[in-house]
Amino acid sequence: MDYQNIIFSLEGGIARLTLNRPDRLNSFNGEMHLELRDALARTRDGGARVLLLSGAGRGFCAGQDLSDRNVAVGAEPVDLGYSIETFYKPLVLGLRALEMPVICAVNGVAAGAGASIALACDLVLAARSASFIQAFSKIGLVPDAGGTWALPRLVGTARAMGLAMLGEKLSAEQAADWGLIWKCVDDDKLMAEAEKLAVHFSTAPTRGLAYTKRALYASSGNSLEQQLELERSMQQELGFGHDYREGVLAFMEKRSPGFTGK
């Protein structure tokens, strides 16, 4: 598939995906969603051990492309439920299902579903000049693409409510202080830092990290006992794997480990 709305590459275990509609602040349209779906499948099936997501130009993503929605008086109303079911839900679930770390480098404003997609990633770094805006309330919608799930879990109900109901701009620095994201980084260091992380993960024990991701996301729906059981079964499986043996051997032999991701 040829991509017109994203840039994608997969090299040395690193999948790099850049949203690429800079004149529309990389907002989503149907074509971009189809390209993203294809790129996520290639990431999953093509031997990637980490995905790095970012945006081209001055913004990360301004959410749904509103010029794609015909809201003129008398026009047939758009079925947003169809849009969520067909595009946003699979995108969020697709990111979550990737059995590898997903890094998001938020290079500029992340608004509406753009903010939600960033928060669906596992490690979110943002440039100091970037911001997060729950723009939905300004057009009479609820935070979607997992926003109502992620926000209260990350920052608590009080802050989630304020962000979602007011739709005010949250700076990257404040987002990091509140625990919404992993780190705020100087603008000129963002991509270098995100790349450094991607390179680190490209030779890391990928399966262990994939299980870590799954266990942490499962924790909010589990009792302590269920979570202990999940940890037991994961540790049991990982303990029979190559990377555990290699990690322990490398430690004992005082050398760098050669993880295969298995």
Which residues here bind ligand T3D, judged by CB under 6 A?
A: 24-25, 27, 62-67, 69, 80, 83, 109, 111-113, 133, 135-136, 139, 141, 144
Q: Which is nearer to ligand T3D, 96 or 169 (CB)?
A: 169
Residue 77, burial from CB neighbour count under 10 angstroms (0-12, 13-18, 19+): exposed
Q: Which is nearer to ligand T3D, 69 or 183 (CB)?
A: 69
Q: Which is nearer to ligand T3D, 109 or 185 (CB)?
A: 109
Between β-strands 6-11 and 14-19, what pairing exists: parallel, antiparallel or unpaired?
A: antiparallel
Question: Which among 19, 105, 27 has a CA at the least distance from the CA of 62?
Answer: 27
- Please report how close the Cβ of residue 113 comes to ligand T3D at its closest, in angstroms: 3
Residue 174, burial from CB neighbour count under 10 angstroms (0-12, 13-18, 19+): middle
- Please report how close the Cβ of residue 205 comes to ligand T3D at its closest, in angstroms: 36
Residue 185, burial from CB neighbour count under 10 angstroms (0-12, 13-18, 19+): buried
- Please report how close the Cβ of residue 175 comes to ligand T3D at its closest, in angstroms: 15
Q: Which is nearer to ligand T3D, 39 or 111 (CB)?
A: 111
- Please report how close the Cβ of residue 257 comes to ligand T3D at its closest, in angstroms: 42
- Residue 142 CA to residue 120 CA, distance in Å, equals 16
Among all residues, whose Cβ is closest to ligand T3D?
63
